[in-house]
Structure 1
């Protein structure tokens, strides 16, 4: 295997794992990293999506007890378990429908560094707005068990922003959207983790299926490297974020998005870097 490609696959895996669950857009960072590393073509476009599977496994492992409790509760007919599972399904449907209807068009026209940088800046401003708003509004939902089907649908609709505008951040859209709808930051963050499981699993499986004709010993090895590094970095990030949201807000992430996206737009406008 080409050692340089292996290093690049590992770097993409690290970027995926560290950014997937933070409100800073993993897709946006992967597109930008891919551009900087000069990785173009059908395989690498699919690679950045497929390695999300490593991040999914990290979430499943971290929340394994809750997942087992929910599944077990469903078999026992417990209403809270069924309500939670139904809420996850309801919140997932809007994004899946939009991805199936417009995914190829969006990928063809908006999966580029400039569109991503613009979404990073706009998303950062929205986060600042949401955080300022929550200072004066007491969240009405303080537990995952308090979420209703209507609340889940609202969060699901917010999640579609990440489908329509790459660089928005799936986790950011669900968390900040949830905060706008009266859900506490902690509950919105936890719910976002569970929503990631079906969304990322479906996206990863679809990408692998679409490029099955490109799979061989080398490409499978590259996927393996990306998966391992995605899992490790995501596991670390999930543990850190769960501690972080208990005592901090997302203002720092907002400014990171604004500054990072702004620098990309400035470097593009000034011709310092040929983003592609």
Structure 2
């Protein structure tokens, strides 16, 4: 298949799934296997399309990120602060650093993805079940999140180190379980995703940049732009969706996809 077409397909998949609770890593592994797009170029490409998705969130939350560079952005008593962001990402960054080689070597397969998709779907269902009828008690504003809640969301984020579990799925479900509404949990999830994913992408990029050639730049650029546009639309749609809808449909989709993945690769 033409590499430019692959770039468009993978860019669309990344843009659609990076910030939805369905696991972009899982989808990328599955699509990569189906398309036969694997190896060093695929590894570098995956980083570039993730950077495109990250940039879309920076645009959507540009005022909030700009505030982090002001005095108020460091004040824990004036809404979501740098300290809230750090509480949600520093623990998982440390754990991910030490487990990086193990995760890359042993957990990047369709089988492990199917397990992550299935268990992550159950977690979403459980979170919805636990908060049913308690919506009025939940924190509905991202600026009212406590440091304690931020730490607990960060702990739930450990689950996302298993490919297929989903970073946004684990943090949004975790947010519900520690007392946040879906919208507040999603907004917090998207904000902390930027520094976390940026560091992870740069780390991956530096490890694989040596395998990149000048001839690959067109493919990388296509994937980057497609991912940016699709992710931008996807995030705005998802935030609107959460205002009146539950996460159950995503849970069902994940469980079905887990079954299809296992059937396609192992039956």
When the two structures are superposed, what TM-score results if normalisation uses the length of structure 1? 0.91
1:170 to 167, 171, 175: 167
Indicate conservation of the 8 Å contact 1:50/1:205, yes or no.
Answer: no
Indicate conservation of the 8 Å contact 1:19/1:25, yes or no.
Answer: yes
Tell me how far apart the structure 2 counterparts of residues 133 and 188 of structure 1 sit (CA, whole Å).
15
Indicate conservation of the 8 Å contact 2:128/2:246, yes or no.
Answer: yes
Deviations 1:115-156 (CA, angstroms, capped at 9, x unpaired): 101111111111111111111434432222221211111111
Deviates more, 1:170-179 or 1:146-155: 146-155
1:187 to 181, 184, 187: 184
Q: Specify the alignment match of 2:57 in structure 1.
A: 59
Is residue 2:38 matched to residue 1:40?
yes
Q: Specify the alignment match of 1:119 in structure 2.
A: 116
Is residue 2:138 matched to residue 1:140?
yes
Tell me how far apart the structure 1 counterparts of residues 100 and 156 of structure 2 sit (CA, whole Å).
17
Q: Specify the alignment match of 1:4 in structure 2.
A: 2
Q: Specify the alignment match of 2:237 in structure 1.
A: 240
Is residue 2:107 matched to residue 1:105?
no
Indicate conservation of the 8 Å contact 1:118/1:265, yes or no.
Answer: no
Indicate conservation of the 8 Å contact 1:25/1:168, yes or no.
Answer: yes
Tell me how far apart the structure 2 counterparts of residues 22 and 250 of structure 1 sit (CA, whole Å).
10
Q: Specify the alignment match of 1:71 in structure 2.
A: 69
Deviates more, 1:259-268 or 1:23-32: 259-268
Tell me how far apart the structure 1 counterparts of residues 82 and 233 of structure 2 sit (CA, whole Å).
26
Tell me how far apart the structure 2 counterparts of residues 266 and 133 of structure 1 sit (CA, whole Å).
31
1:151 to 149, 152, 160: 149
Tell me how far apart the structure 2 counterparts of residues 80 and 54 of structure 1 sit (CA, whole Å).
32
Q: Describe the shift of the 1:7–1:208 C-alpha distance in structure 2 as closer, same or farther (beyond 3 A).
A: same
Q: Specify the alignment match of 1:273 in structure 2.
A: none
Is residue 2:210 matched to residue 1:213?
yes
Deviations 1:132-184 (CA, angstroms, capped at 9, x unpaired): 11114344322222212111111111111111x10000000110011111111
Deviates more, 1:234-243 or 1:220-229: 220-229
* Structure 2 residues without counterparts, runs of 5 or longer: none
- The count of residues paired between Structure 1 and Structure 2 equals 266
2:254 to 233, 257, 273: 257
Indicate conservation of the 8 Å contact 1:59/1:193, yes or no.
Answer: yes
Q: Specify the alignment match of 1:274 in structure 2.
A: none
Q: Describe the shift of the 1:79–1:149 C-alpha distance in structure 2 as closer, same or farther (beyond 3 A).
A: closer
* Structure 1 residues without counterparts, runs of 5 or longer: 271-276
